[in-house]
Structures are given as structure tokens and as C-alpha cells.
Structure 1
Amino acid sequence: MALGLTLPGERQREPGSREAAHAGAVRDAAPPAARSDPRAPARAGAASPAPSAPPSPSVPATLPPAPPAAAAAKANELGRVPVLMYHRILPKPQLSLDRSTKELRDELTRLAKGGYVPITAAEFVGGRFDVPAGRHPVVLTFDDSTPGHFGLDAQGNVKPDTAVAIIQEVARAHPGFRPVATFYANKDLFGLGDQAAAGLAWLTSRGFEIANHTVDHSDLSRLDRAAVQKEIGGMEDRLRAVTGRNTATFAYPFGSVPRKRDWARRQDGRYDFQGMFLAGWQPSPSPFDSGFDRFAIARVRSEGKIKENDCQRFCSVAWLDHLDKNPQERYTSDGDPNAITIPRSAEERLAKDFRARARVW
């Protein structure tokens, strides 16, 4: 199925719109393995360890046994992690990548009931996150910082039916569903105007991550080095001016990587990302997997099993169904953020930098 092909019943894209271009570009961002074998682990680029991997003075030849509770939970911290990708959240979707408030609420409720616990993109990349035993991390990412993601009313309360309000609503209804997400921002920060500083302070004080998505949502694959760094560095300058801090992670607009990846990864004195995220198609490997590349992390588009963009196989509902039916493939926590528990059969996939923290069952 060709990605971006208009089919009967598809939500219509506005020609030339950001969303239309973004939908088409997901095809180019799809790892070749996803096209030929949709259930194969992502192997995008050269493997890189997560930044929090501690230097180990000695690598144990034999991994110690996991505690009985971790084994009873069938902990598998080399399992795959859904990094879900959302765009506009509206009462009624208008374009291909839009999700309705009901669709978002229903998907988050499904995640909560299914034992998923949200973590931020920065926490995922860092490889240290506190998820209870037997539960599964999920990363909620929202691109383009649109008003449907977040806003504050005149009293300083979050606006109802925004993504943040819905996340908090689901968390209240399902204790243990942590109300956090990562927002990949462009220059128009949620339409907040002169309230941007107050709004971003509200978000970060509650554990939400604000991250870089370029100034103008430009296709970086078409730009030279100076233009790439202007787009990324300009957004970093704006976010640092508003929040007082640098961002930790970056998401490529359209999933498009520049001719040289290092142009986007760092610029001395301006930005130096710990992790970088692509567009859709499949869950990410664990940050402890030898095949994990923190500078090319796959995401999954939030969508039902529709024909458009091959969502019958590659979007969120299809992947969550697959992981429900194949629980041995997904990341299941041991409940100890300082340890890494894995089935003995998966030991060969463990990145060597993490062997000092690992244990098997």
C-alpha cells in the first residue's frame, strides 16, 4: 500500500498543508526492515548506548539471577517500547494526522487498562525510569505545539479537552497512569503568545517535557548545514529564553534527516541532544538493546486500523494489538530502576555497557 494514497473514507488533507507533507514523509522515514518485515526489531543506523550507561570497571561473565518477584513479573527490559506520535488534537478531525479528543481519550484509557505507564522521551533515552513491576513504559509524543495540545484559561487552569487535560483526566481515573508526555515544539508555542513563559513553566513543573522540533517545521533533508542549524538552533534559543534551560531531545520534522546527521545532533554552545526521534512505523527497541540507536528512534503514528498509510499493520492500534497478543516482545518492568532484568534467552542482545546492572531469569 503506497503511503499517502487517498482512499475512500480517508480524512482529507489540505493540499500543501504541513500535515499533508508530514503524512507523505512518513513513507520515507520508514526503516526498510519495517516494509519487508513489520515485526522485525528496529535497527536504524549504528547502535549507540543510552547516555546514562555507567562505565563498568568489570563486565560479569555470568549474569546473576533475578529476584523471584522480577521473575514472577516476567520482566523483560529488552522488550520493545511504543513511542506514540500525535499531531493535532481536535473535537472533530479535519486532516489525515489529526486525532479527535475522543480517540485520544480512548487510546490513553486503553494504555492505562493495559498496564502502560507514560515516561518522557528524555527519560526513555536516559535509560533510567521508574515503572512498577509487571507494567510497561510508553512514550507519548505530540508534534508541532498546537493549541489542541495545551492551553490555560483566565484562572490559570488547563483548558478542557486539550491533550494535557485528557492525559490528566485518564491519570485520575487510573491511578498509576503517570500524567506526563513530551511536546515537540515549533515557534508558535501552543498559541500562547505572551503567556508562553507561564504556560511552559506550568508544564515543566508538572513533569511534562518541552523539546525541539525546529522553528518552522522545515524539511531538513533539503537544507545545507547553516540552514539546518538555523532551524534547530533558532528553536533552541527560543525555548532556552522562555524556559531557562536547554532541551534534551529532538524530533525530525517529517522524519527527514539532513545529509549529515551530526548537523542536527549538536552545534557547539547551542544544542547537544541526548536523543533524536524519527517518524512512524514501529515500536522502539529497549534503550538497553545492543541495536538501540538513540539518535534514530522509531515512533508509531497514533491511528486505527485504516488502510491509509498501511495503518492496518503499522499504526498504534495494530501495534498495541500485536503486543497484547505477543507480550514476550514488549518491555515489561522489574520495578527496580537501577537494575535491568531480562529473560536468559535475550542475553545476547544486551548492550555490554549495561551488563553490570543486568540479571536474568
Structure 2
Amino acid sequence: MPLLHKLAAVLVVVAVVLGLTLPGDRDARRAATAVRAAAGEKAAAGRPPVPSVAPGSPRASGTPTPTPSVTAPIPPATAEAARVRADELGMVPVLMYHRIMKKPELSLDRSVQEFRDEVNRLADEGYAPITAAEFVAGRIDVPAGRHPVVLTFDDSTPGHFGLDAAGNPAPDTAVAILQEAARTHPGFRATATFYLNKDIFGLGDRAADGLKWLISHGYEIGNHTVTHADLSRLSKQGVRAEIGGMEDQIVALTGAHTTTFAYPFGAVPRKSEWARADGARYGFKGVFLAGWKPSASPFTTGFDRWAIDRVRSEGKIKENDCRQFCSTAWLDYLDKHPMERYTSDGDPATVTFPAAEEKRLAPSFRPYGRRY
């Protein structure tokens, strides 16, 4: 069966040169680089493979996979897909959050109210949250006319999630705000991906209970190293100790491996494959940078699952050119240029797009393409 990704050209993000390095930013102040990776890498030995097909799609049916053809005509889209102007080759915002606090202290902090306002904006503008793992696997199952968005949180700080005395999300944490948005905006899904370091939300001996709550409520747990180390400065052994040590801790607490990884500082090791897999200890399906633009769709020739761009959550401030490259600016841009963003056709078994975009469809997905 084909995997729902097609890796493409080398993507090099040099934040210092672009002037996008974020002073005080633990995840964006270092240059992020990526290398070409071959498609179809198998899951690490001893770990079950992550599903790589959309639920209900012909790719999951067990039937023989059609041989991709660059000449066979692509069938027409449904009338509904054309009506909502579906474009599943468009850009997907992957938003990057750090501390959520009542009173921000550092450049990457966002206030509780700023986060609540951004979540409500996403809901009002038709965005549908999915996890990083779902995005990497191409399992993008959102209603027709809506737009997937991936919410990622680095460093597992208390403002992301906590438990009150009754075992529910602590008030004014990111999770509590997402749950609130799901209650007040019908159809808005409360989900996100949390990239953990060793001090897990400051929960101490309640960490296992906290992770159990998150996983049982549809949130994803990801790996962000034990100590938030700069992997570009470490040996192979050091890189694998940082990532493997965090994976060991997560498996001990949850009984399951993680699927995705986010580079601390956006810093890539000398050999990026050191971070991708280490035998049965860890083996990721996608790796996220600390970037400055929305990600390419996983169905395009431009998608590289080993170097997925993210966007810093921030208003249109002067610092680090957030007037153009942070979340508020990008959401404004996509609102003004709707044909550049991913709009769902409502059917996870097909990949719909305007006819003029056909050349951007990765060959692996041609059998599932629909055009209008």
C-alpha cells in the first residue's frame, strides 16, 4: 500500500540568515536544516507500524493498490467538492506554541487571553484541528469546506496542561481552552500534539495520570528530548541518548511509543537520521522544525516529512518579522488568499484539487486524485 507522503526536494531553513531567529526562543533561534529522505521507510524493528492511510479509504481496504500513472486521466471531483472549492494540495498551518501564561515574560510566551482568542479565531474561520501524527500519515478527515490545522506545544510546561483535584484539565491551561472551544463551536475538535521534555507539565507523580487523560481524549504525545538539548552539538550517541531517554520515559508512563518528534531549537543533528530512528528504541514517522511558514500538504511533491515547517504563534509585531511570518500574519494571508490553503473535500478516500494544480500532486496519490 502506498504511504500518504511523497518526499521531495531538500528544504533548508536558515533562521539566522533570514532574520527570523527568535531571541530567547528555545525552538527557533538556531538554523534548521533538512536532508532528502527516501519515501517508504519502514517502522523501526519491534514497533508496530503507524497507520499510513486514511480511515475508510481504498488504501486501507486490503485490495491491490493501483499502479500510479502519469498519463491516466484523473476523474472529476464531486459537485460538493467543487462547490466548496476543495484544494487538498494547499498549505496547512502547523502552529508552534511555547508557554501559555496569564502574564507573558519571554518573547515566545503567549497570554491565556491571546491563546483563547487565537483558538476562537481558528474555530470561527473554519479550521479543524488534527494531530501531527494524523497530518504526517495523511489521515486528514475533516468536513468539506474546512481547513486542517495542527496545534503543537513544545516543552511540556504547566500552562499547556494540568489536573485539578477532580482529575480534570486545570482552568486556563491550553487543554482547558481547547475543550471550551469544542463546547462553544460545534464541529471544532479539541486536539493538539504535545512535545515533551522530562518535566512533564510539572505534574510530578501525577504525570502518568495526566498523559492517560490526554491520550484517552484524543491528544497526541510527541518526543522533544530529555533536556531540550541542541542536537546539532551532540555526537550520534548523545543525540540518541537524549531522544531515546525521553522515549523510554514516555513508554514507561503510557505503554506506547510516540509517532512524531520536534527538534529543540529547530537544530538538526550532523546526520538527521540519528534523530529519526534507533532500532526498537524509537522510530518516528515525521519530524518538525521550528520554521516560519505553513507546511506543504502531505499529498504534494513538495512535502518532506523529515523537515515539516511550523509557524510561531504571535501577533503582527516587529520582532523577528512577525508582521509577516508569525501566526496572525499567516492566518490573515490565508484568509485573503483562500485558494492557497488546504480546503477539504470531506472524503478521506480522495484528494481533490483544482485542475490547474494537478502537476503538484505526488505520483503516489494520483489514483486517488479528483479534479474540477
Q: By the TM > 0.5 criterion, same fold?
A: yes
SS in 1 for 2:287: strand
Match of 1:24 among 9, 29, 41: 29
Counterpart residue number, 2:68: 59
SS at match of 2:256: coil
2:316 to 301, 305, 309: 305
Q: CA separation in 2, counterparts of 1:179 and 1:282?
A: 23
Match of 1:69 in 2: 80
C-alpha separation between the residues in 1 aligned to 2:106 and 2:282?
A: 33
Return the alpha-carbon distance in structure 2 between the equivalents of residues 291 and 4 of structure 1: 24
Q: Which amino acid aligns with 2:326?
A: C
In 1, the alpha carbon distance for the partners of 2:189 and 2:296 equals 21
**Partner of residue 342, structure 1:** 353
1:315 maps to 2:326:
yes
Equivalent residues of 1:117, 1:135 under 8 A apart: yes
1:161 and 2:151 correspond: no
Residue matched to 1:46: 36
Partner of 2:229: 218
Residues 5-16 of structure 1 mapped to structure 2, 5 A cutoff: none
Q: Who is 2:294 aligned against?
A: 283
Partner Cα distance (2:360, 2:37) in 1:
12
1:149 aligns with 2:139: no
* Contact 1:118–1:139 (Cα < 8 Å) also in 2: yes
2: distance between equivalents of 1:45 and 1:64? 34
Distance in 2 separating the partners of 1:240 and 1:68: 46
Note if contact 1:4-1:308 (Cα within 8 Å) is conserved in structure 2.
no
- SS of the residue corresponding to residue 133 of structure 1 reads coil
Q: Is the 8 A contact 1:49 1:287 kept in 2?
A: no
**Equivalent residue in structure 2 for 1:356, among 342, 345, 367:** 367
Mapped to 2, the partners of 1:20 and 1:338 lie a distance apart of 39
The structure-2 alpha-carbon separation of the partners of 1:260 and 1:20, relative to structure 1 and needing over 3 Å to count, comes to same
Query: Helix, strand or coil for the counterpart of 1:24?
Result: coil
**Cα displacement string for residues 103-146 of structure 1 (whole angstroms, at most 9, x for unaligned residues):** 00000111000000000000000101210000000000000000
- Structure 2's unaligned 5+ residue stretches are 1-17, 41-50, 54-58
For 1:170, which of 155, 171, 181 is the aligned residue?
181
Task: Read off the aligned partner of 2:209 and give its amino acid letter.
Answer: A
Alignment partner of 1:234 is 2:245: yes
Question: How far apart, in 2, do the equivalents of 1:105 and 1:150 lie?
Answer: 14
| Residue 20 of structure 1: how far off its partner (Å) | 4.2
* TM value normalised by structure 2: 0.87
Distance 2:140 2:38 in 1: 19
Distance 1:4 1:201 in 2: 35
Q: Does structure 1 conserve the Cα–Cα contact (< 8 Å) formed by 2:351 and 2:368?
A: yes
TM-score (norm 1): 0.89
3-state SS of the aligned residue for 1:157?
coil
- Three-state SS of the structure 2 residue aligned to 1:81 is coil
- CA deviations over 1:11-57 (Å, ceiling 9, x no partner): xx7xxxxx4444522xx23x7xxxxxxxxxxxx64376587265833
- Label 1:224 to 1:135 Cα distance change in 2 as closer, same or farther (>3 A): same
In structure 1, distance between residues paired with 2:317 and 2:224: 27
C-alpha spacing 1:48/1:351, structure 2 compared with 1 (3 Å):
farther
Contact 2:345 2:352 in 1 (8 A): yes
Aligned pairs for 1:102-113 (under 5 A) are 102-113=113-124
Does the residue aligned with 1:131 lie in a helix, a strand or coil?
Answer: coil
Distance 2:27 2:224 in 1: 13
Contact map agreement 1:229 1:264 (CA 8 A) in 2? yes
CA pair 3-358 structure 1, distance change in 2 beyond 3 A: closer
Task: Work out the CA distance in 1 between the residues paired with 2:361 and 2:37.
Answer: 12
Asked if 1:96 corresponds to 2:107, the answer is yes
The answer on whether the counterparts of 1:300 and 1:316 sit within 8 Å (CA) in structure 2 is yes
Q: Which residue of 2 aligns with 1:38?
A: none
CA displacement, residues 286-322 of structure 1 (integer Å, 9 cap, x when unaligned): 0000110001000000000101111011000010000
**1:338 Cα offset (Å):** 1.1
What letter corresponds to residue 107 of structure 1 in structure 2? E
Q: Which of 112, 115, 130 matches 1:119?
A: 130
Distance 1:292 1:300 in 2: 16
Q: 1:171 to 1:48 in 2, by over 3 A?
A: farther
Whether the 8 Å contact between 2:27 and 2:263 is mirrored in structure 1 is no
Residue 207 of structure 1 is matched in structure 2 by 218
Paired with 1:73 and 1:99, the residues of 2 have a C-alpha distance of: 33
Percent sequence identity is: 66
1:83 matched to 2:128 = no
Q: Name the structure 2 match of 1:16.
A: none
Does structure 2 retain, via aligned residues, the 8 Å contact 1:49–1:292?
A: no
Structure 2 contact 20–292 (Cα < 8 Å) conserved = no
